[in-house]
Chain A
Amino acid sequence: MKHRYLKNVATLSLSAEKCIGCGRCAEVCPHGVFTVNEKKARIEDKDHCMECGACAKNCPVSAIAVDAGVGCAAAVIMGWLTGSEPSCDCSGGGKCC
């Protein structure tokens, strides 16, 4: 069963103008958000984006922008309490926070 999270929140954007169609974004995306056709990448399903930032980090022409961060409530609470940026610096959870 495919997991789905909240709709219309992801901050992902792609500039078709800058895109050179190298395909790195499709290669690194853990949720298959991108497809590449005729040397241009396209955002196929933005609601699957988890804002990990892999695509933007690996795009050689900076055609992708995303406000990357941790999707972790505990980290956000710690950020609110300590007034710092939410980070995965916690002690719970095998995968992450």
Chain B
Amino acid sequence: MIEMKMINNKSCCCSNDSCCSTESITPYDKNDEWVIGEICTPNGIVPVVSTNLHFKDTLGAWKVRWGTSRINYKISPGLYAIGKPDHISPVLVSANYKLTFDTLRKELSGLDCWILILDTKGINVWCAAGKGTFGTDELVNRISKVGLSGIVSHRKLVLPQLGAPGVSAYEVTKQTGFSVIYGPVRAKDIKDFLDSGFKVTEEMRTVKFTMWDRLVLTPVELVAAAKSSLMVFGVLFLINLFAARPFGLADFIAYTGAVVTGTVITPLLLPLIPGRAFAWKGWLLGLLWTLGFIWLSGWFVPGFLLLAIGYLLVLPSLSAFLAMNFTGSSTYTSFSGVIKEMKIAVPLIALSSVAGIVLLLIKSLSA
């Protein structure tokens, strides 16, 4: 029988009846607000984690979504506790990306369970599984490192379904004796899953990609595009020094519109845009934007034709390229599909852009 004691933030075995080893299984920073206590196990101390998110967690999530401090947003791998788990409590396995950890723990209020965090180098479960860091070897090693078989008496692990590309369930069982149950895709379904005795519905198994899912991914794309755009603006500034028709506000708006079309509008409207290839979808919306802008600016006249054609070649290609890059953020594009799309799209984008840039330069320098 395993005996456990909840204590608050102090060392575990200060009393005489030493219930456990005083060694910490999982190192953590005492200043972390999300650790609300410690629990004793036969193998050492395990931090107890809050199921509430604090302002700092929300701010952290906001920052990574906007592309700042994304690297190193992680926690120590190891074992954590939710509530007052004991030897029969379920073990949930997850990644050490802080955003992933926060998404999981906020769904676990009122539950008693263990969370086994793998070292995925601060990457989310699905991507880490694709790279193999959320994988069989790491799971097997982590189980022995925390001494899981001495902490729980059952031999079951609940893994997120999206960890499956990296983990071979039968291999884990062969090496550790623990059987693997693949839980729901989304953390919000975990409670229903545990309450129903590990039953996963078709709905819980399927990956979605809702407009909201897509919206939260767009800031990072926009920020990355804005950074590259600084170089473009630098070059345009130099050209302006000896241009007959300097680039100005109208050009800036036309360009920015094309960037926003590729990085934000196309991802948002993704399934509504006709066609299947991402580059095509981006090109189509980019074309609509460019046509609209040129028409509103009154550039469909002989004196501005070079400019109009130039932009019609450059801007939709730019939107197409940026939209194509969203394949990496999507949840349903295959490697073979992306390769096929790129073999057609990349040469067309390159040719169209070069031709357009030449026309724009002729117009600008000779006006």
Chain B residues with CB under 8 A of A81: none
| B324-342 to A contact mask, C-beta < 8 Å, 1/0 | 1101111111111111111
Q: Judge whether A95 and B331 touch: CB under 8 Å.
A: yes
CA distance A88 to B339 in the complex (A): 15
Docked complex: B186-214 residues within 8 A CB-CB of A: 200, 202, 205-207, 209
Nearest chain B CB to A1 CB, angstrom units? 4
Tally of contact residues, A, Cβ under 8 A: 50
Q: Judge whether A93 and B337 touch: CB under 8 Å.
A: no
Q: Judge whether A96 and B130 touch: CB under 8 Å.
A: yes
* Smallest Cβ-Cβ distance to A49: which chain B residue: B334
Interface extent on B, as a size class?
35 or more
The reply on B283 being an interface residue by CB < 8 A is no
Main secondary structure of the interface of B (DSSP, over half): helix
Partner of A30, one of B99, B162, B270, B277: B162
Instruction: Give the interface of A toward B (CB within 8 A).
Output: 1-7, 9-11, 24, 27-32, 48-54, 57-58, 60, 67-77, 86-97
Instruction: Give the interface of B toward A (CB within 8 A).
Output: 64-65, 67, 70-71, 99, 123-124, 126-127, 129-131, 161-162, 164-170, 182, 185, 200, 202, 205-207, 209, 216-217, 220-221, 224, 270-272, 276-278, 324-325, 327-342
The 9 A-B residue pairs whose C-beta atoms are closest, nearest first, are A72-B328, A69-B335, A97-B328, A71-B333, A54-B164, A28-B164, A30-B207, A51-B334, A6-B337
Enumerate 16 A-B pairs (CB-CB under 8 Å) in ascending A order: A3-B271, A5-B276, A10-B334, A27-B161, A28-B182, A53-B130, A58-B164, A72-B327, A76-B339, A76-B342, A90-B328, A92-B67, A94-B99, A94-B124, A94-B217, A95-B331
